[in-house]
Amino acid sequence: MEKKKNKNKNKNKNKNKNNNNKNKNKNKKNNNKKRKKRKRRWRRTRRKRKTRRWMKQESSGWLVSAWL
């Protein structure tokens, strides 16, 4: 009787271990996807950022006066 209870306990332990690992892998995959998306977004908007900054400097006038 006593042995059987322990056997089940161990089985459950193993089950939990497997599930934890599965979830870990899932999370890893999802986090990587998110990281890739963030990188892509940053890369995509970089050009816009540069031109915006340039226009801002031009409109403030200090760039133009530096060339004269």
- Cα-based distances in Å from 2 to 5, 6, 7, 11, 15: 6, 7, 9, 15, 21
Q: Which structural domain range is residue 60 located in? A: 2-67
- As a whole-number percent, the residues of the chain with pLDDT over 70 amount to 54
Residue 43's pLDDT is what? 72
**How many domains does one find in the chain?**
1
DSSP states of 12-66 = HHHHHHHHHHHHHHHHHHHHHHHHHHHHHHHHHHHHHHHHHHHHHHHHHSHHHHH
* Interval 3-35: pLDDT, tens: 666 777 777 887 878 788 888 888 888 999 999
On the question of pLDDT at 60 being above 70, the answer is no
Higher pLDDT, 41 or 26: 26
CB-based contacts of 58: which residues, under 8 Å, 6+ apart? Answer: 64
